[in-house]
Structure 1
Amino acid sequence: MREINSTEKKNWLSASTWLRGLFMLLFGFIAGFTRFIITLIAVFQFISLLVTGRANTHLKGFGESLNNYIYHINQFLTLNTDKYPFPLSSWPEEKPHYRYTPRD
C-alpha cells in the first residue's frame, strides 16, 4: 500500500479545502442556471431582431453582465482565483481582461 505523506493528509483533512469544494459545487450549479438565462436572452434578442430589426439594448447590457459573472465563476472553479464570486463578493462591474498566458 502507498504511504500518504503529511502534506496530503493535511489537505485531505483541511476544512477549508472541503469548504472550497462545497462552494465549487454550488457555483457550478449557479453557472448552469446562469447559462440557461443567457440562452433565454439569446432567444428574446432574436425575436427582437425579427420584430424590430435591432437588438434590445437593456438585454444586451444584462447579457454582458451575466457573461462577466460566468467568467468570474469559471475563474473560481478552475482555481485561477481564490476570490469567491457573487453573492460572496461584489457583482462584477468591470469587463474581464481575457488573456492567454501559457504556463509551464
Structure 2
Amino acid sequence: MDKQWKDNIKSESFWLRSLFMVLFFVVYRIVDLLVLLVAISQWFYVLLSGDGNQGLSNFAKGLSLYVSQIINYLSYNTEEKPFPFSDWPKEKAPTTKRKTARKTSAKTKKVTDKSDA
C-alpha cells in the first residue's frame, strides 16, 4: 500500500487529472449560474407569452447534457474530458415541445360561467 501511494503521488497523470477536475468544477459552477439565468428567462417568457421559448429549451437541454458530462468526469465514471476537450454533447432523442399553457380547472370554469350568466 505504501509503495502504491508513493507511486500515485509521483504520477504525472494523477496530478494532471486533478488539475482538470478543479478546472471542470469551476466550469460546473459557472454553468450552474447559467442554468439559473435560463430558468429565470424561461419563466418570464412563459409569464408574458403563455408558452415556453423553444430556443431556450434546446439550449437548456444542451447545458443539462454538458453538466452530465462534467459530473461523469468528476466522479471518475469516465476518463473522457468534457467539452472543449471533446465534442459538445448531442441529444440522443428529439425533444417534443412541452405545452406550458395553463389549463382551466372545472371549478374555475363554473365560476366563470356563473359570472357570464
Q: TM-score, normalised by structure 1?
A: 0.85
Post-superposition CA distance 1:43-69 (Å, at most 9, x none)? 000000110000000000000000000
Deviation for aligned residue 1:76: 0.2
Whole-angstrom distance in 2 between the partners of 1:90 and 1:49:
31
Q: Which runs of structure 2 are paired with 1:50-89 in the superposition (5 Å)? A: 50-89=47-86
How much has 1:6 moved relative to structure 2?
1.4
Distance of 1:26 and 1:94 partners within structure 2: 24
- Is there any run of 5+ residues in structure 2 with no aligned partner, and where? 93-117
Greater gyration radius? 2
The alpha carbon displacement at 1:94 in A equals: 3.0
RMSD (Å), alpha carbons: 1.3
Amino acid at match of 2:2: N
AA paired with 1:57?
Q
Consecutive unaligned residues of structure 1, counting only runs of 5 or more, are 96-104
TM-score when normalising by structure 2:
0.76
Q: How many residues align?
A: 93
1:37 to 34, 37, 44: 34
Moved over 3 A (4+): none
Matched, 1:16 2:44: no
Percent identity for Structure 1 against Structure 2? 37
